[in-house]
Chains A and B, each alone.
Chain A
Amino acid sequence: MKATQRLNLFLVFAATCSLWSGCANVQPWERATLADYSMRPDRDPLMTAMSEHIYFSREASSGGRGVGGSGCGCN
């Protein structure tokens, strides 16, 4: 097989792979699941309190976790 044929074959293969890729962008209108309450990192108050305790015990600091919103990207 010639070098140009190999290159062509590679280009076609790469183009095909890019079209069949499993990666996909989640569109803004498809973010219902991401916006669900269960996706919030602070959905469990007890777990949040424990995490806070560990954090301030180790880092000698507390607070600073006031960012709201979930994953819908609309807040």
Chain B
Amino acid sequence: MLSQNKKVILGLTGWFVLAALTLADVKVGAPFPGLEAFGLEGTLPDRAGRVVLVDFWATWCAPCKASFPAYSMMQKELGERGFTIVAVSVDKKPEDYAEFLKKMTPGFATVRDAKQKLVADVKVPGMPTCYLVDRKGVLRMIHGGFHGDASVRELREEISRLLEEKP
């Protein structure tokens, strides 16, 4: 029989373990959360059977903005082979988001996570971070930051590999 003391300690440990589990972030090899469930502002592109790059960005993040021309180019070149970019803005101010898109006009789909529910669920470790999801909806790669050509090279290699896989 457990003493009262041990019961309390056991209960508290269980509480903290449960709390830690509910905060678990997404893992490579596991399905990426469905984007429809988070009330994102904007139109999500058709992603069924496609390789999808989900990029988290913000107008206040300089490297995020620097990645846009390279991502536009990737979308243009690989789109026909079944590649789609969904850029999820975490901007709280809709005017900042709208103003930036007016100036930039990216060549891929952008949506806004106004309530920051998706980004909190995914627990993005830094800005920007992109998640590469295969044709079956499984997360295959997490890329943190944007480091110019090095990032583009790394992403393109993995995207090309995933595009070769059958749906």
Contact = CB atoms under 8 A, between A and B. Distances in A.
Interface of A: 4-5, 7-8, 11-12, 15, 27-32, 35-36, 72-75
Interface residues on B, range: 20 to 34
Contacts of B40: none
A3 to B, nearest CB: 10
A74 B5 CA distance: 46
B5 A4 contact: yes
Interface string B102-131: 000000000000001001100011111100
Interface of B: 3-5, 8-9, 12, 15, 56, 58, 60-64, 90-93, 116, 119-120, 124-129, 145
Given A15-B12, A29-B116, A7 B127 contact: no
Given A4-B4, A27-B120, A74 B90 contact: no
Nearest to A30: B116
Contacts of B4: 4-5, 8
Contacts of A74: 61-64, 126-128, 145
A62 B84 CA distance: 50
B12 A72 contact: no
Given A11-B12, A29-B124, A75-B62, 5 more contacts: A15-B12, A27-B120, A28-B125, A36-B60, A74-B128
A29 B58 contact: yes
A23 to B, nearest CB: 16
Given A15-B15, A35-B61, A36-B60, A72 B5 contact: no
Contacts of B124: 27-29
A48 B90 CA distance: 32
A7 B15 CA distance: 18
B9 A32 contact: no
14 contacts: A4-B3, A5-B4, A12-B8, A15-B12, A15-B15, A28-B124, A28-B127, A29-B56, A30-B116, A32-B58, A32-B92, A36-B60, A74-B126, A74-B128
